[in-house]
């Protein structure tokens, strides 16, 4: 018996367009879903690129008519994979058309636009999702389960860093280095992930940014002669013309949490020797966890309830199909998974929600992602104004 389906419209065909398309191609092959996504329409601005993308990835239709695609009565889910400055426009249009909506992170390029999106979601019939894909990494989901089971106890410290090194001076002035498009630099791109991860694992919320520091190391970049391949492109553009980079290359901040825990965060694209080191360590009175995405199939766990002579970090390989989140849908034990699987795992949970099921690991919606946006904004204000900023000062 054929399962019910939902037609998907994807907006954007660059880096995130590829990851989302791959997830839609694979998800029903590995997960037993109550609802199957159908790759109905891909939307973008460049018709030639769109046609090539449609054929390569298996979309049924390609169009540059955004409004027509979003309002097509055949479409049930609109998936937004565009730069941050158009998230609000695209998602609100889709919500007003009665669609379910998924959106790339961060929720928006500014707190004001994020609030508009959250408020539109509150009034809409459709459900919303945000692609904080690292929640769906088995090791991170396991850390969440440990924290919920009380294995960490009272949490004292959260320390997180997201370190990359791809953005040297020869990298062109792509949209990620333009505040009018991205909203911020490494902060919104990378800190957003680790803020969400900290909130997700601990179940705690931020109350105050105690201090913050933002730095732009490379203030001018070559103007690209053609569009990027998704905003994380390396290599010189060949252009002699230079343009201003007006976002942060690095952002560091200290924070307090409602529980009384303290936290530190660092995001940078100039951490030489780190390609995608998304790291978090959480210390409690009963235990601790450590995770680094560059070793994504492992979670380190410290059990402080054991006799002292037995205590030490345990390196858990999270590939036991019957025991660890999501991996039963993939390969035999120790047949490791990769970056793309977080997106597939998330899409599976999205289909469960739309099919009336409740996933084991909670999905971020616009309401949830707005809380992360509040932290991003408070940290930016703390850096700009050189003072502590309470989240209660911001529009809620």
Q: Is 396 within a domain?
A: no
Give yes or no for residue 204 having a pLDDT over 90.
yes
Q: Are residues 287 and 298 in the same domain?
A: yes
Share of the chain above pLDDT 90, in %: 94
**Confidence (pLDDT) at 372:** 98
Q: Are residues 144 and 231 in the same domain?
A: yes
Using alpha carbons, select from 47, 14, 12, 10 the residue that is nearest to residue 231. Answer: 14
Average pLDDT, integer, range 306-333: 96
pLDDT grade for 233, boundaries at 50, 70 and 90: low
Q: Which domain holds residue 371?
A: 135-340+365-385
Q: What is the DSSP string of 90-126?
A: HHHHHHHTT-EEEEPSSS-SSHHHHHHHHHHHHH-SS
Q: Is 353 within a domain?
A: no
User: Please, are residues 117 and 92 in contact by the beta-carbon 8 Å criterion?
Assistant: yes
Q: Is 394 within a domain?
A: no
Give yes or no for residue 253 having a pLDDT over 80.
yes
Paired tokens of 179? 């505040």
pLDDT grade for 1, boundaries at 50, 70 and 90: confident
**Which conformational region is residue 122 in: left (phi greater than 0), alpha (psi within -120 to 50 degrees), or beta?**
alpha
Average pLDDT, integer, range 210-228: 89
Q: Are residues 83 and 190 in the same domain?
A: no
Q: Which of 93, 118, 133 is the last residue of a domain?
A: 133
Q: Are residues 171 and 277 in the same domain?
A: yes
* Total domain count, the chain: 2
Give dist(CA 149, CA 201) in Å, integer: 11
Give yes or no for residue 227 having a pLDDT over 90.
no
**Element spanning 292, H or E:** strand 287-292
Share of the chain above pLDDT 70, in %: 96
pLDDT grade for 225, boundaries at 50, 70 and 90: confident
Q: Are residues 23 and 96 in the same domain?
A: yes
Q: Are residues 60 and 164 in the same domain?
A: no
Instruction: Name the strands in the sheet holding 77-80, side by side, starting at the edge strand that comes first in the sequence.
Output: 61-63, 36-43, 5-11, 77-80, 100-103, 128-130
Q: Are residues 57 and 141 in the same domain?
A: no
Whole-number CA gyration radius for the chain? 21
Q: Are residues 291 and 377 in the same domain?
A: yes
Cβ neighbours, 10 Å, residue 300:
17
Question: What phi and psi, each to the nearest 5 degrees, are found at residue 29?
Answer: -75, -30
What tens digit of pLDDT does each residue of 140-196 get?
Answer: 999 999 999 999 999 999 999 999 999 999 999 999 999 999 999 999 999 999 999
Using alpha carbons, select from 313, 359, 277, 69 the residue that is nearest to residue 59. Answer: 69
**Confidence (pLDDT) at 100:** 98
pLDDT grade for 308, boundaries at 50, 70 and 90: very high
Cβ neighbours, 10 Å, residue 94:
29
Q: Is 210 within a domain?
A: yes
Q: Are residues 79 and 159 in the same domain?
A: no
Paired tokens of 74? 């055949």
Q: Is 47 within a domain?
A: yes
Average pLDDT, integer, range 328-338: 96
User: Please, are residues 167 and 233 in contact by the beta-carbon 8 Å criterion?
Assistant: no
**Confidence (pLDDT) at 226:** 62
Give dist(CA 251, CA 383) in Å, integer: 9
**Confidence (pLDDT) at 95:** 98
Average pLDDT, integer, range 320-344: 96
Q: Is 390 within a domain?
A: no
**Confidence (pLDDT) at 240:** 72
pLDDT grade for 232, boundaries at 50, 70 and 90: low
Give dist(CA 337, CA 331) in Å, integer: 8
Q: Is 206 within a domain?
A: yes
Q: Are residues 199 and 294 in the same domain?
A: yes
Can you give the CATH number for the domain in which 380 is found?
Answer: 3.30.360.10
Pairing label, strands 313-317, 242-244: unpaired
What tens digit of pLDDT does each residue of 26-37 get?
Answer: 999 999 999 999
Can you give the CATH number for the domain in which 41 is found?
Answer: 3.40.50.720
pLDDT grade for 129, boundaries at 50, 70 and 90: very high
**Confidence (pLDDT) at 231:** 52
Give dist(CA 137, CA 235) in Å, integer: 30
Q: Which of 133, 162, 190 is the last residue of a domain?
A: 133
What tens digit of pLDDT does each residue of 286-301 get?
Answer: 999 999 999 999 999 9
SS3 state of residue 69 = helix
**Confidence (pLDDT) at 2:** 85
What tens digit of pLDDT does each residue of 55-92 get?
Answer: 999 999 999 999 999 999 999 999 999 999 999 999 99
Please count the residues of the chain.
Answer: 396
Q: Which of 84, 117, 133 is the last residue of a domain?
A: 133
Cβ neighbors of 129 (< 8 A, separation 6 or more) are 100, 101, 102, 103, 346, 350, 353, 363, 364, 365
Give yes or no for residue 217 having a pLDDT over 80.
yes
Question: What phi and psi, each to the nearest 5 degrees, are found at residue 157?
Answer: -130, 140
Q: Are residues 330 and 252 in the same domain?
A: yes
Across the chain, mean pLDDT equals 95
**Confidence (pLDDT) at 271:** 98
What tens digit of pLDDT does each residue of 86-111 get?
Answer: 999 999 999 999 999 999 999 999 99
Q: Is 351 within a domain?
A: no
Q: Are residues 295 and 187 in the same domain?
A: yes
């Amino acid at each position: 018996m054929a399962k019910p389906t939902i037609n998907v419209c994807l907006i954007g065909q660059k880096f995130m367009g590829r990851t989302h398309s791959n997830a839609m191609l694979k998800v029903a092959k590995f997960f037993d879903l109550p609802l199957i996504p159908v790759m109905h329409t891909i939307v973008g601005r460049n018709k030639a690129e769109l046609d090539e993308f449609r054929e390569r990835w298996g979309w049924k239709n390609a169009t540059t008519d955004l409004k027509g695609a979003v309002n097509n009565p055949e479409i049930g889910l609109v998936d937004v994979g565009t730069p941050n400055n158009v998230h609000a426009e695209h998602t609100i249009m889709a919500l007003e058309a009665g669609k379910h909506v998924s959106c790339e992170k961060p929720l928006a390029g500014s707190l004001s636009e994020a609030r508009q999106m959250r408020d539109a979601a509150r009034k809409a019939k459709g459900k919303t999702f945000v692609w904080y894909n690292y929640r769906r990494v088995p090791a991170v989901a396991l850390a969440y389960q440990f924290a919920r089971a009380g294995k960490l106890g009272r949490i004292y410290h959260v320390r997180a860093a997201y370190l990359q090194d791809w953005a040297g001076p020869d990298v062109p002035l792509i949209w990620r280095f333009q505040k009018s498009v991205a909203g911020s630099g490494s902060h919104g791109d990378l800190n957003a992930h680790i803020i969400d991860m900290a909130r997700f694992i601990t179940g705690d919320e931020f109350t105050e940014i105690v201090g913050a520091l933002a730095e732009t190391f490379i203030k001018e970049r070559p103007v690209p002669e053609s569009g990027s391949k998704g905003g994380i492109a390396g290599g010189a553009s060949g252009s002699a013309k230079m343009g201003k980079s007006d976002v942060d290359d690095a952002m560091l901040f200290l924070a307090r949490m409602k529980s009384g825990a303290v936290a530190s965060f660092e995001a940078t694209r100039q951490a030489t020797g780190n390609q995608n080191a998304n790291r978090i360590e959480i210390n409690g009175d009963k235990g601790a966890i450590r995770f680094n995405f560059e070793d994504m199939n492992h979670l380190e766990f410290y059990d402080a309830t054991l006799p002292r002579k037995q205590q030490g970090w345990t390196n858990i390989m999270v590939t036991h199909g019957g025991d660890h989140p999501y991996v039963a849908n993939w390969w035999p034990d120790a047949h490791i998974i990769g970056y793309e699987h977080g997106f597939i795992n998330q899409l599976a949970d999205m289909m469960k929600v739309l099919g009336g099921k409740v996933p084991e690991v909670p999905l971020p919606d616009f309401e949830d992602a707005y809380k992360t946006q509040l932290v991003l904004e408070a940290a930016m204000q703390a850096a700009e104004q050189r003072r502590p900023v309470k989240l209660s000062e911001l529009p809620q």
